[in-house]
Homo-oligomer: A and B are copies of this chain.
């Protein structure tokens, strides 16, 4: 007594064809798990003439979105085309037509997620987006279902595969930033304009989504302190390594006293920390809960089949809901008033690399700048460099953002001192 569930897909790129492949290859298991026969009826494509081989057999292709969105036989729409504006328009149409939606579109969910979730609820439709963060890692469902009993305190994620690949190359193979970027581009991990990846924008969008689910709060992109890896030098990666750290681009969302703070940036991670050993293009999300303690979820952050796995798992959940008559319940029902932590509440240790004139007394001046803001040192390395200059690397004790801003302002004004880079340091 299997019912037929008909699916329309928007987009026939890598994820779209991955979805079709998984639905074919794992058909027997999916039928048993859902109690339904799931079949792809139509796919919206850009170029209908393109030869797609056997994979498109039995599926109607169209370049007209309304043929998919307005087909009364289609129960579920999978949006895997990317872009923001047209995807939003199509999903809106689909939900208004009473169709359930699964999307892999992080940009869309980060920017318009709340609006679309409300629209889905209004129309008694499901809206899932597991694939939008960390590709094949089921981190959203884990936070929503399995950690529902816990109060989450911190989420730290390596959620951008491109930069993690580049940092791995820079760390293990001593490549420069430029070499690592070139290799990532050659392998198809980075786009020709790598801005979204290397400047941390992609990671920040994913942190918007993770913050919404983990803390029930809505943080805007411009409320996230976002730094990329563009200015990272091999020498800093080497120095960090000597001090027992690996540099990773980490998105951090933490809650304290009812307020939340979200940031993205390269961070010194102690080498024994589970996040330090996440290699290449893999992703990982480290979650600290008041009760559960430290957990980590690791896997492929992108790629045709991993991302498609998450899309199809969402589709299976929709199919089960259809069978049980329980569609239209929002994925995440945890909501909280959004409150940002103040500068005084946001604490971190820092790594600072300062180039300065090697003259007597200047190190004392440097020390005074930190002492004036009541910040102590955890580690100091001073090395002479050419031209009568010295390089001083400092790892500080914990300081708050107010102290950080004071110190940075003074370092900027100080003669004969040049702050090369400053990075957060994760506590061991």
**How many A residues touch the partner, as a band?**
35 or more
Chain B residues with CB below 8 A from A291, complex form? 18, 21-22, 25-26, 305-306, 308-309
> Is the CB–CB distance between B297 and A303 below 8 Å?
no
Which residues in window 266-297 of A have CB below 8 A to B?
Answer: 272, 274, 277, 279, 289-297
Contact: B298 with A298, CB < 8 Å?
yes
Contact residues of A between 134 and 154, Cβ < 8 Å to B: 136-138, 141-142, 145-151
**What is the chain B residue whose CB lies nearest that of A329?**
B324
A279 to B428, CA, bound (A): 14
**Contact partner of A151 among B29, B145, B146, B298, CB < 8 A?**
B29
Q: Does A259 contact B (CB under 8 A)?
A: no
Interface: A335 (CB within 8 A): yes
Copies, count: 2
- Decide: A293 and B298 in contact? CB cutoff 8 A: no
On whether the beta carbons of B272 and A274 are closer than 8 Å, the reply is: no
* CB of A234 closer than 8 Å to a CB of B: no
CA distance A142 to B137 in the complex (A): 10
Q: How far is the CA of A279 from the CA of B145 in the complex (A)?
A: 26
CB-defined contacts of A130 to chain B, threshold 8 Å: 146
Interface membership of A32, Cβ < 8 A: yes
As a 0/1 sequence over residues 1 to 14 of chain A, the CB contacts with chain B under 8 angstroms (1 = contact) are 00000000000000
- Distance in angstroms from A328 CB to nearest chain B CB is 10
Contacts of A150 in B (CB 8 A): 22, 26, 309, 313
> Contact at B293–A306, with CB atoms within 8 Å?
yes
Which of A30, A149, A294, A299 gathers most chain B CB within 10 Å?
Answer: A149
Given contacts A32-B333, A279-B272, A333-B32, contact A148 B293 (CB under 8 A): no
Judged by a CB distance under 8 angstroms, whether A256 is at the interface is no
Alpha-carbon separation in the docked complex, A308 to B290 (Å):
12
With the chains together, A272 CA to B276 CA distance in Å? 12
Q: A33 contacts which chain B residues (CB < 8 A)?
A: 148, 333-334
Kindly list chain B residues whose C-beta atoms are within 8 Å of the C-beta of A317.
145
Tell me, rounded to whole Å, the shortest Cβ–Cβ distance linking A250 to chain B: 16
The verdict on A313 contacting B146 (CB below 8 Å), with A305-B293, A333-B32, A334-B33 known, is: yes
Contact A138 B148, beta carbon cutoff 8 Å: no
Give the interface of A toward B (CB within 8 A). 18, 21-22, 25-26, 29-30, 32-33, 35, 130, 136-138, 141-142, 145-151, 272, 274, 277, 279, 289-300, 303, 305-306, 308-310, 312-313, 315-317, 324, 326, 329, 333-335
Given contacts A145-B145, A298-B298, 5 further A-B pairs with CB under 8 A are A26-B149, A33-B334, A147-B309, A149-B315, A293-B303
